[in-house]
Structure 1
């Protein structure tokens, strides 16, 4: 990318601008943070706010290069080897310090030691890493994932995995015996005793799961308005891990609209948000979140103008959401990912981001955004043409309708838009005829009859009368 394009970008995870050569401490913190994450580039001679190329005197370039190299060599450990370049921008020189993703993290300040001198990149800032982050960096160096570590506080034969075993057998056709558990790295044998891994604890319905991982849950909320505040609805999903993504997805579907159009005699449904992309993001949040971080859960927040999905843990170093169609694949939880693939929750590696990109192309009215607030990763689906006045009316109706429908069915999310409209009419008027259903739905008579029949089969309404006097009322 050319310098003219680079200087237009905001500072971020992999990019930082400095007007002059930073002091020793700031330079090393930035270099260490880049090396512990995805790498990055530091541009010296560029003012950040307002963005302007100030330049570095040409006669100082070699001296600056030497000073940078010596400072990094003398103060950073393990050794970090920067690439230092010079760029001429309209007669003004810029120093570019390229730092590559390190293979032997954690990197830290020699003078502070590992515990007090390890820094990570959080958005456009450098943050001191805590004990949990340092341990994760150590595991990355060794190629070990947190979910593969054994749990010695409970033996395998004492662990309740009945729900997971039942689902595994139903989907794969295989009985979940110890041979399979060992093959997919869900158990570890130590001193002739079998112990579960963190992955199996998370998949289990044993009480130890809530003791060790009380934060391994999804908090879902539908807020009134565009900022956190009043709840319209909320739900805590703390089921075993393999059930969470689907339950969270159902919550989202319950709180977004689905419209219908007809092409000839064929009905075409379209959600207001790209639901396939949302489903993939939720799955990614469950599979790739950092379960070693204590006190943090996944959060799904639905507002009038957007949906936000926030997952604990930084984005994996080699993943770039700005290039979703390249088939990227970097797995934090290697054991869980393998199990989820067997269960059909995820497909082939690297396919999820491509599916998101393909679905977003069908929704030009939705803007896809991602960010890293703190030690977490957030994806936002935002309505570009959001109109608060129109949405205000729609939300009042939706919230009221949702409450009324909940009084007669717990399967609100399984109803079609037409079925919801029929039920709301019956709730308001006590009964409905086929002719009235045709008028309300603005469809052919046979289509209205199909909707009424479907509601009868779901035991939500019942038929009364005969012949032309037939009408439908709520099921007693």
Structure 2
């Protein structure tokens, strides 16, 4: 990507802009967070809001470069060695700090210590890591996955895995004996006894799973309308993880429509959403979620205008949803993923996202969106069309259906009245304020929409139509 194009990108997990050299603690937090995650770039001399290149004084560049090198060395632990370079764009000078993914996490601020000074990148923000995240970073350094760790609360003989054995035989036509359990790293021998790993506990129908992983479940809901105020149906899927994806998928099928479409001389049935893609995303959520995060479950939510899947844990650094047609594979759960592959639930070789991309081509009326929400990753299948009864032109008109996108309608309303409030936009679009704020956030992220002034007295600015 050309520098000029990159500078127009929104801030995010791997990108940050600063008008000048920020305080030592701010830039050190960002550098630590980048090193703990996928790496990233910081550009000095670029204002973020509104985005504009202001440049740095040419005479100050050597001094700023030295300051950056010194503060990284003095404030970050273990040692981080970024690449610092001076760039020119539009006859103005910038400094780029390229931070690479670290091989010795967790990285933290020396003066704060590991427990209080470890930061991770969540969206465009630096977030203080808690003990669970620090432990996960330490596993990453040792190249150990959480699901491979031994559980010594019960021996494998004491653990109830009968349903998993039946599922394994049904899918593979093999008996899940001790030899296969060892080969799949579902069990390990410690001090002369055979114990399950976290992965096998997650596949078990045993009280130990419920006590150790009370949130290793899928919460499904069908909401009335486009908000979360009223349920039509809901279900908690608490079976072992080998069965969760199919039950969640079946819940979705019960609550979306199937119609008929003419292809040539034939009439064929067609779901209103790309169900194969939804099934793949649900499977990925179960296989690749971060099971070490306590208090978080997978959520499958169905609204009138979209299907939404939220999985605990950020997207692995090497997975890029913007390049879905390329083969990508990065198993966070290195024991669970091969088991799912044997069961025929996933393709271990990275075809999953490619499958999603292929099916989306047959659904131009559905938009695929993805984003990080806190410490979770969310995928949405959103209908681009919206049925409106009124307010599109500021007048009340009965029984008018407009086959236009929410984004377009919202921008039209703002064009006519830049001082319109979010509440008024939501009412005009027949959406909840939550849904409307999500659309606004996406438009801001794309650089199309910005706001000047306060929420009460400010106004909207459309940067691009």
How far apart, in 1, do the equivalents of 2:187 and 2:231 lie?
41
How far apart, in 2, do the equivalents of 1:348 and 1:11 lie?
32
Q: Over the residues paired in the alignment, what is the CA RMSD in angstroms?
A: 1.5
Question: 4+ runs of 1 displaced by more than 6 Å?
Answer: none
Pick the structure with greater CA Rg.
1
DSSP 3-state at the match of 2:152: coil
How far apart, in 2, do the equivalents of 1:325 and 1:144 lie?
29
Matched residues, number:
392
Q: Which runs of 5+ in 1 are unaligned?
A: 394-476
Instruction: Report the CA distance between 1:291 and its aligned residue.
Output: 0.4
- Indicate the larger mover: 120-129 or 69-78: 69-78
Distance 1:263 1:5, change over 3 A: closer
Is 1:322 the counterpart of 2:325 in the alignment?
A: no
Instruction: Report the CA distance between 1:103 and its aligned residue.
Output: 1.0
1:313-332 Cα offsets, whole Å, 9 max, x none, are: 11111111111122111111
Give the 5 Å matches for 1:380-459. 380-389=380-389
How far apart, in 1, do the equivalents of 2:263 and 2:37 lie?
50
Instruction: Report the CA distance between 1:83 and its aligned residue.
Output: 0.8
1:243-279 Cα offsets, whole Å, 9 max, x none, are: 0000000111111111113446643122111111111
- Residue 120 of structure 2 corresponds to 120
- Residue 397 of structure 1 corresponds to none
How far apart, in 1, do the equivalents of 2:345 and 2:351 lie?
12
How far apart, in 1, do the equivalents of 2:192 and 2:328 lie?
39
Is 1:62 the counterpart of 2:62 in the alignment?
A: yes
1:289-346 Cα offsets, whole Å, 9 max, x none, are: 0000111000011111111110011111111111112211111101000100000000
Distance 1:267 1:19, change over 3 A: same
Instruction: Report the CA distance between 1:3 and its aligned residue.
Output: 2.2
DSSP 3-state at the match of 1:205: coil
DSSP 3-state at the match of 1:10: coil
Higher share of residues assigned helix: 1
CA contact (8 A) 2:87 2:93 kept: yes
Give the 5 Å matches for 1:31-430. 31-263=31-263, 266-389=266-389
DSSP 3-state at the match of 1:67: helix
- Normalised by the length of structure 1, the TM-score is 0.80
How far apart, in 2, do the equivalents of 1:388 and 1:162 lie?
52
Instruction: Report the CA distance between 1:9 and its aligned residue.
Output: 1.4
How far apart, in 1, do the equivalents of 2:61 and 2:244 lie?
55
Distance 1:94 1:239, change over 3 A: same
Instruction: Report the CA distance between 1:368 and its aligned residue.
Output: 1.1
How far apart, in 1, do the equivalents of 2:348 and 2:30 lie?
36
Instruction: Report the CA distance between 1:388 and its aligned residue.
Output: 4.6
How far apart, in 2, do the equivalents of 1:372 and 1:170 lie?
36
Instruction: Report the CA distance between 1:80 and its aligned residue.
Output: 0.7
DSSP 3-state at the match of 1:326: coil
1:412-439 Cα offsets, whole Å, 9 max, x none, are: xxxxxxxxxxxxxxxxxxxxxxxxxxxx
Instruction: Report the CA distance between 1:182 and its aligned residue.
Output: 0.6
- Residue 451 of structure 1 corresponds to none
- Normalised by the length of structure 2, the TM-score is 0.82
Instruction: Report the CA distance between 1:154 and its aligned residue.
Output: 0.7
Distance 1:220 1:388, change over 3 A: farther
Distance 1:370 1:139, change over 3 A: same
How far apart, in 2, do the equivalents of 1:8 and 1:265 lie?
48
How far apart, in 2, do the equivalents of 1:205 and 1:384 lie?
41
DSSP 3-state at the match of 2:111: coil
Instruction: Report the CA distance between 1:389 and its aligned residue.
Output: 4.5
How far apart, in 1, do the equivalents of 2:389 and 2:230 lie?
18
Is 1:3 the counterpart of 2:3 in the alignment?
A: yes
Instruction: Report the CA distance between 1:89 and its aligned residue.
Output: 1.4
1:84-140 Cα offsets, whole Å, 9 max, x none, are: 122211111111111111111110111111111100000100000000000000111
Distance 1:24 1:232, change over 3 A: same
- Residue 469 of structure 1 corresponds to none
How far apart, in 1, do the equivalents of 2:122 and 2:203 lie?
30
How far apart, in 2, do the equivalents of 1:304 and 1:82 lie?
47
- Indicate the larger mover: 83-92 or 12-21: 83-92
Instruction: Report the CA distance between 1:46 and its aligned residue.
Output: 0.8
How far apart, in 1, do the equivalents of 2:364 and 2:93 lie?
41
How far apart, in 2, do the equivalents of 1:366 and 1:220 lie?
21
